[in-house]
């Protein structure tokens, strides 16, 4: 089954979209996260590549580091043991974000729907 989740940096300055095919009986964000942690921990414990990645991350290996693991690594073997296949992570640095435009911002100026003049003039220009 395909599964995806969104990971948000605590200060909202970055996000990661994590996708994978999973073979897990009960899947939710908690179970998916726990499986990732088990796989990465075992990878770090048992392989030189994992130990190197842990060291290079200054013992702060997070989703950004996980997204940078080379394709030829042996990490997929450990993920597969946890029921996770074809892991795909896309990260985005979003800075401070756009406080004027959030996900639920309405994109229609309701009072302009009744006006006959051009709606574009009602939108502030910056």
In a domain, 22, yes or no: yes
Distance separating alpha carbons of residues 126 and 68, to the nearest angstrom:
37
In a domain, 77, yes or no: yes
Contact 102, 24 (CB under 8 A): no
Contact 5, 70 (CB under 8 A): no
In a domain, 87, yes or no: yes
Question: What are the DSSP calls for 42-106, one per residue?
Answer: HHHHH-HHHHHHHHHTTS---HHHHHTS-TTSSHHHHHHHTTEEEEEEEEEE-TT--TT--TT--
Which pLDDT tens digit goes with each residue over 18-71?
999 999 888 899 999 999 999 999 999 999 999 999 999 999 999 999 999 987
User: Whole-model pTM?
Assistant: 0.78
In a domain, 36, yes or no: yes
In a domain, 74, yes or no: yes
Which range of residues forms the domain containing residue 68?
Answer: 2-97
In a domain, 18, yes or no: yes
- The structural domain count of the chain equals 1
In a domain, 26, yes or no: yes
């Amino acid at each position: 089954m395909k599964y995806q989740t969104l990971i948000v940096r605590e200060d909202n300055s970055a996000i990661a979209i994590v996708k994978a095919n999973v073979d897990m009986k009960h899947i939710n964000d908690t179970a998916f996260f726990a499986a990732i942690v088990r796989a990465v921990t075992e990878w770090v414990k048992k392989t030189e590549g994992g130990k190197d990645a842990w060291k290079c991350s200054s013992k702060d290996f997070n989703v950004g580091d996980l997204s940078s693991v080379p394709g030829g690594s042996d990490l997929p073997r450990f993920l597969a043991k946890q029921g996770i296949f074809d892991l795909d992570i896309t990260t985005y640095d979003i800075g401070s974000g756009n406080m004027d435009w959030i996900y639920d911002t309405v994109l229609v100026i309701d009072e302009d729907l009744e006006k006959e003049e051009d709606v574009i003039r009602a939108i502030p220009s910056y």
